[in-house]
Amino acid sequence: MQTILGFDFGLKRIGVAIGNTLIRQAQPLTIISAATNDGKFAAIEVLIKEWQPGLCVVGLPSHPDGTEHEMTVRCRRFANQLHGRFGVETTLVDERYSSAVVSQRRGDLIDAEAAAIILQQYFNDHAQP
């Protein structure tokens, strides 16, 4: 069994979800809202140490036609930083269709819920052998 953390990267907040390869069910974990990048990565480091994930999944936004925009580049950079700083394998998941689901919801956990949808999409797209 492997723990997997899912991330919905944003400039102000980063939603985090958790799941594992046994149950394959994502659930919201927390929202990181530190003011600086160093603060955000310090909070991520605490989560990495606590949960010891074998994989981190990062949502990759793009325009509806699949073309990239500014946040696409930022999310790729964030995934590379996760891998570089913590040595954890990272993968990107197309999040074009997950944002519509989350935008209909309200509340403080919206970023963590978005991360859970991204992580669940990873589980759904990667069927167990």
Domain range list for the chain:
3-7+20-125
pLDDT of residue 101: 58
Instruction: Classify domain 3-7+20-125 by CATH architecture.
Output: 2-Layer Sandwich (3.30)
Instruction: Identify whether the C-beta of residue 4 lies closer than 8 Å to the C-beta of residue 56.
Output: yes
pLDDT of residue 126: 86
CA distance 85 to 80: 8
Instruction: Identify whether the C-beta of residue 12 lies closer than 8 Å to the C-beta of residue 71.
Output: no
Instruction: Kindly report the pTM of this predicted structure.
Output: 0.90
Q: Tell me which H or E stretch contains 126.
A: none
Q: Is 106 helix (H, G, I), strand (E, B) or coil?
A: coil
Average pLDDT over residues 18-40: 95
pLDDT of residue 99: 54
pLDDT of residue 20: 96
Rg (CA), the chain: 14
Mean pLDDT of the chain, nearest integer? 90
Q: Which residues pair with 27 in a beta bridge?
A: 18
pLDDT, tens digit, for every residue of 70-111? 899 999 999 999 999 999 999 999 987 665 555 555 555 688
For the ranges 22-31, 90-99, 118-127, the one whose mean pLDDT is highest? 22-31
